Amino acid sequence: MEYVQLSMDEYIQSKNDIKNNLGGIVKSFVRIGWQLTRIDRSGAYKNDGYSSIAEFAAAEYGMTRTGVSRFMNVYETYSTDGDTPELKEQYREFKFSQLTELLQVQEADRQMFTPEVKREDIREFQRFEKENEADPARLFDWKDAKSPEEKLKATIQEFCRENKDILNAVYSSITEPKDLAEMISPSGSRSYRKGTVYLMFYDESKGIMVKVFGEMPVDITYRYFLDVVHSLFDEYDAGAHTWEKCFGVLPGEGTTAQKQKEPVEPKMPEYSGEITGKVQEDISAEKVIEKPEIAPAQPEEQIPGQDSIDQHPKYMPEPVQGPDISKKKPEDSAPEIHKEEQKSDPVPENNEAIPEKAITRKEYLETLTLYGWADYVAAAMRTFGSIPFSRLREISFWEEWLCEKVDKKGRPWIE
């Protein structure tokens, strides 16, 4: 720390300067930090019997130790070289609260932010950095992407999945980058993060700042962003219903476009539009209708994955005490036939299959082998990209996850 020597007159002037600038604009705050730093380096506070700059500021101005440190750090970090309160040019339009938050951001990453940024966006970036530093697993491939460019592309895909209106607008009304910028960031700034990638959106002239964890920040244009969107979704082009065609339900259709193309693997716990309960029931009903009528003693054809009603006693009616049939029929009537008739009574006349029963995810995991358990959890972890690492460390999250309802293949249960 450079030594500064102040005369008594200069010391008194510095004290008055601090008092006059308290409550002012950012330049005033920097000036306060400058004067506090000069008094601290010179040790002039000892003239009034104080033992430290913090004690001096608390007694003279009612400032806290944290406040003193903040003023001095802002001055030392953002001012030009030399004994001067002048801010560096790139920071002159920032608010003091923004500069304070940026103290926690590495110097190389501060270029991510402009004066239009919200304070919460800077804090979100700090959380992004801390979570990735604390979780080594995030350093591995995000969405199976290998390079920073592929990770950015995967993040843009996720952004479009989470912003239905924006994707549909790209294929129905947005043709120019300026229009896209105004829709994504109408207030002039907006942040978005996924996995190891953080995006900071500004207006069209300033573009988009991209931070891939472990890499230097780079800027891209909205034209580039728009080109990536088209490279990802042109094959699903359906105008104002592009998002529905790619991710959701198309108008007038009762199923998802994704499900029509390829079934979701059972091990993936993420909901992908696969309906488990009713679809199974409809298929069962169709199969039963097409089955030719057979003798009562012949066992009913089983659909793969469908169990017998004998395994669900709660669906069986209580035995009804009726007249003794044996007295009304010949003695040689086969009891086996009578037994089969009793078993078939509870089956509804419309031949509908018994709906599949939901179980908890914990119950499903208990049916798996050790390898199957590990494979299921590994697949589930790949769907947690949007969940903060701090949340994954909470016991309550895993309790809720284990108690969620799933079908017999471990997929989320749809009522």
Kindly state whether residue 281 falls inside one of the protein's structural domains.
no
Asked if the model's pLDDT at residue 30 lies above 80, the reply is yes
Q: Check residue 34 and give its pLDDT.
A: 94
Kindly state whether residue 282 falls inside one of the protein's structural domains.
no
Kindly state whether residue 26 falls inside one of the protein's structural domains.
yes
Whether this prediction's pTM lies above 0.85 is answered by no
Clarify whether residues 149 and 94 are in a common domain: no
Q: Check residue 13 and give its pLDDT.
A: 82
pLDDT in tens, 216-227: 999 999 999 999
257 pLDDT tier (thresholds 50, 70, 90): very low
Are 407 and 277 spatial neighbours (Cβ–Cβ below 8 Å)? Answer: yes
- Please compute the mean of the pLDDT values over residues 373-394 and round it to a whole number: 82
214 pLDDT tier (thresholds 50, 70, 90): confident
> Where is the domain boundary, 102, 136, 157?
102
- Please compute the mean of the pLDDT values over residues 372-381 and round it to a whole number: 85
Clarify whether residues 149 and 241 are in a common domain: yes
- Please compute the mean of the pLDDT values over residues 343-371 and round it to a whole number: 71
| Number of domains making up the chain | 2
- Please compute the mean of the pLDDT values over residues 31-54 and round it to a whole number: 94
Q: Check residue 60 and give its pLDDT.
A: 93
Kindly state whether residue 226 falls inside one of the protein's structural domains.
yes
Asked if the model's pLDDT at residue 269 lies above 50, the reply is no
> Where is the domain boundary, 79, 102, 125?
102
Asked if the model's pLDDT at residue 317 lies above 60, the reply is no
Residue % of the chain over a pLDDT of 70: 69
Kindly state whether residue 356 falls inside one of the protein's structural domains.
no
Q: Check residue 352 and give its pLDDT.
A: 53
> Where is the domain boundary, 201, 230, 246?
246
* Structural domain span for residue 12: 8-102
Kindly state whether residue 77 falls inside one of the protein's structural domains.
yes
Clarify whether residues 21 and 96 are in a common domain: yes
Kindly state whether residue 207 falls inside one of the protein's structural domains.
yes
- What mean pLDDT value characterizes the chain? 77
Kindly state whether residue 60 falls inside one of the protein's structural domains.
yes
Asked if the model's pLDDT at residue 311 lies above 70, the reply is no
117 pLDDT tier (thresholds 50, 70, 90): very high
Clarify whether residues 96 and 155 are in a common domain: no
